Chain A
Amino acid sequence: AQTVTQSQPEMSVQEAETVTLSCTYDTSENNYYLFWYKQPPSRQMILVIRQEAYKQQNATENRFSVNFQKAAKSFSLKISDSQLGDTAMYFCAFMKLEGLTFGEGTQLTVNP
């Protein structure tokens, strides 16, 4: 069974600064998918970014980018130019063919 670990329960950052959220996972699979989702107080789970394990290039989506280290089984999320609207719970998730396996989440607070 796969496991996903997010070792930072809470983080805070000043508006316009950069922050990195950590995620590690454990799997014996070679082909899989990794995701970062954000969940604001409204509780709607929103996709931030996805990464296919067979792709060596790190995924980017505007201010969001990942550092995917397959050998180390590490998948961190970098948020540049943080905005107040980025305040949310962030979940790292792993997927092979069945449903997502989520980490415990990191609560990110962006301070003005």
Chain B
Amino acid sequence: EAGVAQSPRYKIIEKRQSVAFWCNPISGHATLYWYQQILGQGPKLLIQFQNNGVVDDSQLPKDRFSAERLKGVDSTLKIQPAKLEDSAVYLCASSLDIAGGPVETQYFGPGTRLLVL
């Protein structure tokens, strides 16, 4: 079974530029998460999708970050414009989560490392 795929793996941009990250979850997984992991810290949830609907985006800086999950499969996270403090690893995770069932384990992709200069 293929794992969570993310691209690109690395990205270097200058501040005020735009950048987009792509995530393809494990086939059949209804729930998709984006996390931001700043160097030396634990990951922080940015947004959670259930199919193509947003469950939680309370920690997403909406003035510059946006995310979508069209058709309930792949997802894109965008930053526009980027700031120096956005330098981090952006992790995508997915879980099965059958309605009415228990919370399922999240499986993570390899992450995208962003450096903003």
> B-contacting residues of A (Cβ < 8 Å)?
4, 33, 35, 37, 42-47, 50, 52, 91, 93, 95, 97-105
Contact = CB atoms under 8 A, between A and B. Distances in A.
A45 B37 CA distance: 11
Contacts, number: 54
Contacts of B48: 98-99
Top 8 A-B residue pairs of the complex, sorted by shortest distance between their CB atoms: A102-B42, A99-B45, A45-B108, A98-B56, A99-B48, A99-B33, A33-B103, A102-B43
A97 B45 CA distance: 13
A104 B110 CA distance: 19
Interface of B: 33, 35, 40-45, 48, 55-56, 89, 91, 93, 102-103, 105-111, 113
B45 A104 contact: no
A42 B110 contact: yes
A102 B33 CA distance: 14
B105 A47 contact: yes
B42 A105 contact: yes
28 contacts: A4-B42, A43-B110, A43-B111, A43-B113, A44-B108, A46-B108, A47-B105, A47-B106, A50-B105, A91-B42, A91-B43, A93-B42, A95-B103, A97-B103, A98-B45, A98-B55, A98-B56, A99-B33, A99-B35, A99-B56, A100-B33, A100-B35, A102-B42, A102-B43, A103-B42, A104-B40, A104-B42, A105-B41
B55 to A, nearest CB: 7
